[in-house]
Amino acid sequence: MKNLLFLLLGLATAAPALAQGNNYAQNYHKYEGLALTPPMGWNSWNKFACNVDEKLIREVADAMVASGMRDAGYTYVNIDDCWHGERDAQGFIHPDSKRFPSGMKALADYIHSQGLKFGVYSDAGSQTCGGRPGSRGYEFQDAQMYASWGVDYLKYDWCNTEGLKAEGAYKTMTAALRQAGRPIVFSICEWGTDKPWDWGQTVGHLWRTTGDIYNCFDCIEDHGTWKSFGVLAILDKQEGLRQYAGPGHWNDPDMLEVGNGMPENEDRAHFTMWSMLAAPLITGNDIRTMSPQTQAILTNKEVVAINQDKLGVQGFRHSAKDSVETWLKPLNGGNWAVTFLNRSRRPQPVTFDWKATPIVDSLSKTELNATKTTYKVRNVWAKKDAGTTKKAFQATVPAHDVIMLVLRK
Ligand code: GLA
């Protein structure tokens, strides 16, 4: 009896400590069950940088619906840097009241009412890259605030993090998001510096593998203290990372530049390669005013389906010849996506003899063997069936462009 009394007393005193969630009882594991296919949506940064306000975000949400983007699978409407105002006397973050006079909860409600989801951006350091308040030292309060607004996606950047270790800093925010109690997709934006693929799988749902994308197909932009990378440069930096990707945890080669000024062929190649990589498809253009060509690229159902294939296997470069690379991505049901990418500024012929080239992917334990199986061939961008694998494939790939095929059993 006496023992029981002590036990009860002990429990009663421990309960408040547990309820407050002291640091020793945190859960440092992300929410499972989110982003089982690569996340799809829109983010403000690539087109609008710091020029964000609630009018823009509402208009983009409207346009996501009207343009068919939502129905094509693009769910998240994410505000990147510069939405922040000040912290209040208790330390809680609030949006810039001039730019977001109705507040974040009202904006989230509006986005949700359109059948979309809402994302925000913060930074593990003292300030964001744009000089707004960062979450360092405020992780639990910020996560609580985001949850109260109805946030569904957090991109978490890495500026001004002197003295922090990436894994620990990101885990702190993971624990904060758990504590806040709302399932939020956690996007690790640490630019690949500390190899997030090695530790990110239990911490977040996607991780940037490189520095920022630059709106250019084949160039690297030197900003003095940092560089940003065109489509091909980013593509090349994905080498060796495919084993880390899978349902719930994706390599993120950065957001799309489709519709931001590259010619249509380069936009098509960019979108195709991100689909082959099972990359998150976070668009970065002005959805309100996009051209029919841009819309057709972003909402191409067959290409999106390759990206979203539920097997969740990142594609790989199989071979390269005369500036034409052959990429393969195993798909559910023993099917395959095949892309010929022409990196050169001239059209290039391509021949692929399926029967002469049996392919085994040891990672996914799948095989493309046209001597055993005859696959039907579909030319995805041409929206045409293209015979079977009994015959070698022959075509000309235009400059800075792709031919994308799906092989079905
Ligand atoms: C970093 C990120 C970008 C963007 C900006 C915002 O550069 O990598 O994607 O979020 O910060 O300032």
Residue 73 structure tokens: 């699978």
- The answer to whether residues 211 and 140 belong to one domain is yes
In a domain, 32, yes or no: no
- The answer to whether residues 263 and 335 belong to one domain is no
- The answer to whether residues 243 and 368 belong to one domain is no
In a domain, 129, yes or no: yes
- The answer to whether residues 155 and 192 belong to one domain is yes
| For the CA of 158, the nearest atom of ligand 1 | 1
Could you read off the pLDDT of 180-222 as tens digits, one per residue?
Answer: 999 999 999 999 999 999 999 999 999 999 999 999 999 999 9
Q: How far is the CA of 235 from the centre of ligand 1 (A)?
A: 19
Q: How far is the CA of 163 from the centre of ligand 1 (A)?
A: 20
In a domain, 12, yes or no: no
Could you read off the pLDDT of 368-408 as tens digits, one per residue?
Answer: 999 999 999 999 999 999 999 999 999 999 999 999 999 99
The whole-model pTM stands at 0.94
Q: Which one from 123, 142, 212, 361 is the annotated catalytic residue?
A: 212
Q: How many CA atoms lie within 13 A of 97 on its CB side?
A: 5
Q: What is the total count of domains within the chain?
A: 2
In a domain, 52, yes or no: yes
Mutate-to-test residue for ligand 1 from 47, 80, 121, 255, highest number of ligand atoms within 8 A of CB: 80
Scanning the structure block, which residue is given the tokens 């091909």? Answer: 232
In a domain, 30, yes or no: no
In a domain, 237, yes or no: yes
| For the CA of 255, the nearest atom of ligand 1 | 9
Q: Is the pLDDT of residue 2 over 70?
A: no
| For the CA of 254, the nearest atom of ligand 1 | 9
Mutate-to-test residue for ligand 1 from 43, 45, 207, highest number of ligand atoms within 8 A of CB: 45
Instruction: Identify the pLDDT of residue 25.
Output: 83
pLDDT average, residue stretch 318-332 = 97
Q: Is the pLDDT of residue 15 over 50?
A: no
222 labelled catalytic: no
Q: What is the DSSP string of 162-227?
A: TT--HHHHHHHHHHHHHHHTS--EEEE-STTTT-HHHHGGGT-SEEE-SS-B-S-SS-EEE-SS-E
Scanning the structure block, which residue is given the tokens 């980013």? Answer: 234
Q: How many CA atoms lie within 13 A of 207 on its CB side?
A: 27
Q: Is the pLDDT of residue 14 over 90?
A: no
- The answer to whether residues 361 and 294 belong to one domain is no
CB neighbour class for 15 (10 Å; exposed up to 12, middle 13-18, buried from 19): exposed
In a domain, 148, yes or no: yes
- The answer to whether residues 300 and 329 belong to one domain is no
CA dist., res. 42 & res. 256, Å (int): 9
- The answer to whether residues 344 and 243 belong to one domain is no
Q: What share of the chain is helix, strand, coil (3-state, %, to 5)?
A: 30, 25, 45
Are the CB atoms for 171 and 200 separated by under 8 Å? no
Mutate-to-test residue for ligand 1 from 52, 157, 228, highest number of ligand atoms within 8 A of CB: 157
Q: Which one from 53, 157, 286, 401 is the annotated catalytic residue?
A: 157
For the ranges 6-20, 44-58, 158-172, which has the lowest average pLDDT?
6-20
Q: Is the pLDDT of residue 7 over 70?
A: no
Instruction: Identify the pLDDT of residue 22.
Output: 56
Q: Is the pLDDT of residue 6 over 80?
A: no
Could you read off the pLDDT of 144-169 as tens digits, one per residue?
Answer: 999 999 999 999 999 999 999 999 99
| For the CA of 189, the nearest atom of ligand 1 | 8
Question: Nearest-5° angle of CA 97, CA 100, CA 102?
Answer: 95
- The answer to whether residues 94 and 220 belong to one domain is yes
Domain boundary among 260, 279, 307: 307
286 labelled catalytic: no
CA dist., res. 359 & res. 357, Å (int): 6
Instruction: Identify the pLDDT of residue 104.
Output: 98
- The answer to whether residues 94 and 215 belong to one domain is yes
pLDDT band at 324 (very low <50, low <70, confident <90, very high): very high
| For the CA of 80, the nearest atom of ligand 1 | 10
Nearest CA to ligand 1 atom 1: 129
- The answer to whether residues 323 and 250 belong to one domain is no
* Contacts (Cβ under 8 Å, ≥6 apart) of 131: none
Are the CB atoms for 98 and 326 separated by under 8 Å? no
- The answer to whether residues 255 and 350 belong to one domain is no
Residue 169 structure tokens: 């800093």
CA dist., res. 140 & res. 400, Å (int): 46
pLDDT band at 1 (very low <50, low <70, confident <90, very high): very low
Could you read off the pLDDT of 232-289 as tens digits, one per residue?
Answer: 999 999 999 999 999 999 999 999 999 999 999 999 999 999 999 999 999 999 999 9
Q: Is the pLDDT of residue 11 over 50?
A: no
Q: How far is the CA of 189 from the centre of ligand 1 (A)?
A: 8
Could you read off the pLDDT of 59-105 as tens digits, one per residue?
Answer: 999 999 999 999 999 999 999 999 999 999 999 999 999 999 999 99
Query: CATH number for the domain including 386?
Result: 2.60.40.1180
Q: How far is the CA of 212 from the centre of ligand 1 (A)?
A: 7
Please give the residue range of the domain that contains residue 273: 40-307
Residue with the larger pLDDT of the pair 91 and 7: 91
Instruction: Identify the pLDDT of residue 23.
Output: 55
Instruction: Identify the pLDDT of residue 137.
Output: 98
Query: CATH number for the domain including 235?
Result: 3.20.20.70
- The answer to whether residues 265 and 335 belong to one domain is no
Q: Is the pLDDT of residue 18 over 90?
A: no
CA dist., res. 267 & res. 269, Å (int): 5
Distances (CA, A) of 84 to 27, 130, 230, 288: 27, 10, 29, 24
Which one-letter amino acid corresponds to residue 245? A
In a domain, 10, yes or no: no
Give the residues surrounding ligand 1 with Cβ less than 6 Å away. 45, 80-81, 128-130, 157, 189, 212
Domain boundary among 282, 307, 332: 307
Q: What is the chain's mean pLDDT, rounded?
A: 95
Nearest CA to ligand 1 atom 6: 81
Q: Is the pLDDT of residue 5 over 90?
A: no
Domain boundary among 264, 286, 307: 307
Nearest CA to ligand 1 atom 11: 129
